[in-house]
Amino acid sequence: MEYRYIPSDRVCSQEMIIELDGDIIKKVTIIGGCAGNTVGVSNLVAGMKIDDAIKRLEGIPCGMRGTSCPDQLAIALKEAKENL
């Protein structure tokens, strides 16, 4: 299943494309944002269970923004999980 998410305008990334195989994250592509960070996070979550990735990413801030690209990915994963 492919799920597309448009992050909050408080972060640099513009879109997140998540490929799932059941409750396993196959691949995440993040458009925009800090390339090193977004590619790193994408590679780290590949192969993880959705719930495990959410636990690790949820609530991570970026400065004073109150959210971050990893936090937005956690939100996207929650939404994707609801659509399984």
Q: CA 31, 40, 64, 6: dihedral to nearest 10 degrees?
A: 30
Helix/strand/coil for 24: strand
- Report the alpha-carbon distance of residue 24 to residue 49 in Å, rounded: 4
Query: Tell me: the pLDDT tens digits for 50-80?
Result: 999 999 999 999 999 999 999 999 999 999 9
Computed over every residue of the chain, the mean pLDDT equals 96
Amino acid present at 12: C
CA distance 59 to 23: 21
Where are the chain's structural domains?
Answer: 2-82
pLDDT given for residue 69 in this prediction: 96
The answer to pTM > 0.85 is yes
Question: Which CATH architecture group holds 2-82?
Answer: 2-Layer Sandwich (3.30)
